[in-house]
Amino acid sequence: MRTFSALVVALLVVTGCSTPAPEEQTPPGMAPRGTQMTTAKPTRQDLTNKVSLSGKVTINPTFGLVSPVAGQVRYLDVKAPDKTPVKPTKVANVFAAGRPTSVEIPAGAIFSGRLADDKANVQAGQPIVSAKHVGYGIVAEIKGEQAYQLSDTLSSVQAQIKNGPGPFPCAVLGTIAALPAGTIPEPPPPVENPAPPSGSSAPPAPPTIGGPQQEKKKQEPSEPTGMRLVCTAPTDVKLINGAESTIEVITEKATNVLVLPVEAVAGGQGKGKVDVMGTGGERVTKDVVLGLTDGKVVQIKSGLTGDETVAVPGPNLPPAPQDAQGGPGK
């Protein structure tokens, strides 16, 4: 009994002397305790922005040509060729301020359709003509999120055939855009020679050569396409229809630019934030302007001098505000 009483007293003493530990507070500007964090300093290097696409070898691929200026498009009547053109084919003029700018299909391709109404007002860069390349080409379908990465001038395009030749330069045809169905107007009906007036002694006119009895070669308009890149290989590269390929597109290059690891930067589309480390270990979030990225580092166009030390990972962007019902802020 005495042993049991002593044990109870000892427990009460221990319990009475114990006080709950106060909740730990994270100092303002410091990372929460336990956060795995390193630091990095900006460096300088050459940077190349690349986009990789999956493609296939295709026979007679369709591509689009755009209006060179904003203005009114006026199409020409284009006859179906009897053989593959060896010279460019003029298919339209775009009039701006009364001055025409011609639109030509390159040699080795044939006219495949109008993509706008005749005499319609069009914007510069708008696809207005479809054409069909005669022979092999490489076609890569483009996803929506890649569209604006590829919409500007392409510095270089390389292709590699799976288990085949490559890499080799691939010449881009036309524009990178989804195309509507092309239209080709019907040719006017042939003019028949009128019969001589009754009572006339004039002999009947000879039949017109190439009249209704002779069928003209009919042009087939192009079908609609998704967003795609079409390019052609050098003539000494052997291609097989349907063979899979990889296309690497270099969209832009920069020399000796300031870069940070992508993990150190939050944001995108040209705007970002980084956490600069203070002398006391505090983090100060700064806005930066972003440029090219190769997936490992990202260009810092402005916002840093290059002497800073930044935290890795970068800052967490604040969540979207919530309304009273718990939905997105209004």
- Rounded to the nearest angstrom, the gap between the alpha carbon of residue 279 and the centroid of all alpha carbons in its chain is 43
206: left (phi over 0), alpha (psi -120 to 50) or beta: beta
pLDDT of res. 206: 59
Tokens in use for 163? 């288990």
Cα–Cα distances in Å, from 17 out to 11, 14, 20, 22? 10, 5, 10, 15
pLDDT of res. 145: 77
Query: Is 155:173 a contact under the CB 8 Å cutoff?
Result: no
pLDDT tens across 221-254, in order?
999 999 999 999 999 999 999 999 999 998 888 8
Please give the Cα distance from 206 to 218 (Å, whole number).
26
Query: Is 291:299 a contact under the CB 8 Å cutoff?
Result: yes
Tell me if residue 16 falls in helix, strand or coil. helix
The pLDDT-based confidence of 4 (bands split at 50, 70, 90) is: very low
Cα–Cα distances in Å, from 53 out to 64, 94, 147, 168, 210? 19, 33, 12, 15, 48
Query: Is 103:129 a contact under the CB 8 Å cutoff?
Result: yes
Tokens in use for 94? 């775009």
pLDDT of res. 298: 93
pLDDT of res. 205: 59
pLDDT greater than 50 at residue 14: no
Q: Does residue 154 or residue 286 have the better pLDDT?
A: 286
pLDDT of res. 258: 96
Please give the Cα distance from 181 to 133 (Å, whole number).
16
pLDDT tens across 87-101, in order?
999 999 999 999 999
pLDDT greater than 50 at residue 10: no
Please give the Cα distance from 149 to 142 (Å, whole number).
10
pLDDT greater than 90 at residue 162: yes
pTM of the model: 0.66
Average pLDDT, the chain: 83
Q: Does residue 111 or residue 5 have the better pLDDT?
A: 111
- Rounded to the nearest angstrom, the gap between the alpha carbon of residue 2 and the centroid of all alpha carbons in its chain is 86
Please give the Cα distance from 142 to 51 (Å, whole number).
10
